[in-house]
């Protein structure tokens, strides 16, 4: 299921023009990171994908559905959106109820709801915490509950808004495993992120936004290699990429493995 965004413009009621002509196609099964400075329009763009926001101009298609033509509740079957702040998303008294809510709300039979919830809980390492109130969990585990409750809906497209912000290294690794599993299942994963190392290690394609427009869009290596252009949106390439450049490597390296390989040559 492709996402097709054409000349998307969006202005908030106070007149702020957050998106100024975004055109972007995301193919089924792609893993894509959206990066850019604070206020670049990343969250505004992401919220158009599940219909939480509707274009002021242009169109957003999710598969054959134009988002303006379908209610948010229906779009939820195609696009899962994990909020940056779990506290905006979670409302149930225990983890199992929270994670079961989405698939139940999509109208699935009880057996299917249970199976989807168990799979999501296992993937996020929450199987031992099903009876806990999400608010008694640490912020890192609350983040995992937020991920699980969206993954349980089994949507072909999953959007993460700043998944690693405020997370410790162990949880960043957990989130990376979730992204890898979704990729293995053929799902489209879109992450908005400030975390350029996470982006370099887990995403094949990067879109850099600046002031409501696309500055760069391409393979992760090509985008992260363009240090001067990225600087316009205050994004620094990963430490390793910069180190590679200073070492005089000809190719752009984006992770440890590539740096080691390049040094061996
Ligand atoms: N509810 C809102 N009302 C008015 N302006 C907003 C609102 N939310 C965001 N903006 C503005 O829209 C622009 C894009 O914001 P946002 O999409 O949140 O950026 P990002 O996620 O990249 O930090 C910014 O100028 C921001 O101040
Ligand atoms: Mg944001």
Q: What is the pLDDT of residue 98?
A: 96
pLDDT at 109: 96
- In the chain, where the domains are located: 3-78+155-264
Residue bearing tokens 């702020």: 16
Token readout for 54 is 């509707």
pLDDT, tens digit, for every residue of 254-265?
A: 888 889 999 888
Would you say domain 3-78+155-264 falls under CATH 3.40.50.300?
yes
Ligand 1 atom closest to Cα of residue 36: 22
- The first and second tokens of residue 122, run together, are 């296992």
State the alpha helices, DSSP H only, in 34-190. Answer: 42-49, 72-75, 95-105, 110-123, 139-151, 169-184
pLDDT tens-place string over residues 151-206: 999 999 999 999 999 999 999 999 999 999 999 999 999 999 989 999 999 999 99
Residues of the chain with pLDDT under 50: none
How far apart CA 14 and CA 27 sit, in angstroms, is 33
Q: What angle do CA 33, 37, 42 make, to 5 degrees?
A: 50
Q: What is the pLDDT of residue 250?
A: 87
**pLDDT at res. 222:** 93
Ligand 1 within 6 A of CB of 43 = yes
Q: Which of 36, 38, 39, 192 to mutate to test the pocket of ligand 1 (most atoms within 8 A of CB)?
A: 39
Given CA atoms 166, 168, 171, 177 in this order, what sign does their dihedral have? Answer: positive
Q: What is the pLDDT of residue 151?
A: 97
Ligand 2 centroid vs 161 CA: distance in angstroms?
7
Question: What DSSP designation does 18 have?
Answer: E
18 lines ligand 1 (CB under 6 A): yes
Mutate to test the pocket of ligand 1, among 14, 34, 37, 44 (most ligand atoms within 8 A of CB): 44
């Amino acid at each position: 299921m492709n996402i097709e965004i054409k000349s998307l413009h969006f202005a908030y009621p106070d007149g702020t023009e957050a998106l100024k002509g975004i055109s972007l196609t995301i193919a089924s099964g792609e893993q894509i990171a959206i990066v850019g400075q604070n206020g670049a329009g990343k969250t505004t763009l992401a919220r158009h994908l599940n219909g939480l926001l509707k274009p002021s101009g242009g169109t957003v298609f999710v598969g054959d559905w134009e988002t303006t033509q379908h209610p948010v509740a229906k779009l939820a079957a195609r696009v899962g959106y994990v909020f940056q702040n779990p506290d905006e998303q979670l409302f149930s008294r225990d983890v199992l109820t929270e994670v079961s809510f989405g698939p139940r709300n999509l109208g699935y039979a009880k057996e299917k709801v249970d199976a989807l919830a168990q799979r999501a809980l296992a993937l996020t390492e929450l199987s031992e915490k099903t009876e806990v109130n999400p608010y008694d969990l640490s912020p890192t585990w609350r983040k995992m509950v937020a991920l699980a409750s969206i993954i349980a809906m089994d949507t072909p497209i999953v959007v993460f808004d700043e998944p690693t912000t405020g997370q410790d290294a162990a949880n960043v690794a957990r989130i990376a495993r979730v992204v890898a599993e979704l990729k293995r299942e053929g799902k489209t994963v879109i992450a908005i992120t400030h975390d350029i190392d996470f982006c370099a290690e887990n995403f094949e394609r990067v879109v850099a936004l600046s002031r409501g427009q696309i500055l760069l869009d391409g393979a992760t290596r090509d985008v992260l290699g363009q240090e001067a252009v990225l600087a316009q949106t205050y994004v620094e390439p990963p430490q390793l990429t910069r180190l590679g450049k200073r070492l005089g490597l000809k190719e752009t390296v984006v992770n440890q493995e590539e740096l080691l390989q390049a040094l061996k040559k």
